[in-house]
Amino acid sequence: MDNILSPMKILLPIDGSEYSKRAAQVALRIAKLHSGQILLLHVIAPSGQERKKWMVEGGEKLLQVYRESMVNEGLDEASITTLIENGDPADQIIDTAEIKGVNRIIMGTHGKTGIKKLAGSVTEKVLRNSKVLVLGVPPNYEI
C-alpha cells in the first residue's frame, strides 16, 4: 500500500530524451535527500519487426550511462537498479511500478517527440491509469 511518508522507491522511466534527462535530475535530488532508491526503466516498444539487437544494446547503454552519472553525482550504487522491458511503454511503466512496489513515478511530461502536444502519450496514459503517485517534470523546470 502506498504511503506518502514511506521510504522513497522511485521508478524513473527513461527514453533518452532531454525531458527524461531533466526528470532524472529531479529524481536524483529527491533520492539523495530522502535516501531513496531509484529503479531505472527503459521500454522497447514493438516496432513491427522482431526486436532489434541494436535496440536492446542501445537501451542497455542508456541505462548504464544514467546509472554511472547518478553514482558520479553521489547516489549510492546499491540504491540504483536498472530494468529493460518490451511492450507498450505506458503499460510496462504501470506494471513495473506495481510489481516492484514503487511509491513514486518520476517522468518527463514530454519525450522524444517534444513539446508539440500538451503532454506525451506515454505520460498521459500513465497518469490516466497509475495507482502510484506520478511526478511529471515540465519542460521549463529549472533544476
Task: Give the nearer residue to Mn ion in terms of CB position, either 67 or 88.
Answer: 88
Please report whether residue 108 would count as binding Mn ion according to CB under 5 A: no
Provide, rounded to whole angstroms, the least separation between the CB of residue 101 and ligand ATP. Answer: 19
Task: Give the nearer residue to Mn ion in terms of CB position, either 111 or 136.
Answer: 111
Task: Give the nearer residue to Mn ion in terms of CB position, either 51 or 112.
Answer: 112
Among 41, 111, 123, 126, binds Mn ion (CB under 5 A): 111
Q: Which residues form the interface with ligand ATP (CB under 6 A)?
A: 13-15, 17, 19-20, 23, 41-43, 45, 89, 107-108, 110-114, 120-123
Task: Give the nearer residue to Mn ion in terms of CB position, either 101 or 114.
Answer: 114
Contacted by 42, from ligand ATP, Mn ion, none: CB < 5 to 8 Å by type: ligand ATP
Q: Contact at 8 Å (CB) between 103 and 61?
A: no
Instruction: Please provide the DSSP assignment of the chain as one string.
Output: ---TTSPPEEEEE--SSHHHHHHHHHHHHHHHHTT-EEEEEEEE---SSSPPHHHHHHHHHHHHHHHHHHHHTT--GGGEEEEEEES-HHHHHHHHHHHTT-SEEEEES--SS-TTSSS-HHHHHHHHH-SS-EEEE-TT---
Provide, rounded to whole angstroms, the least separation between the CB of residue 65 and Mn ion. Answer: 19
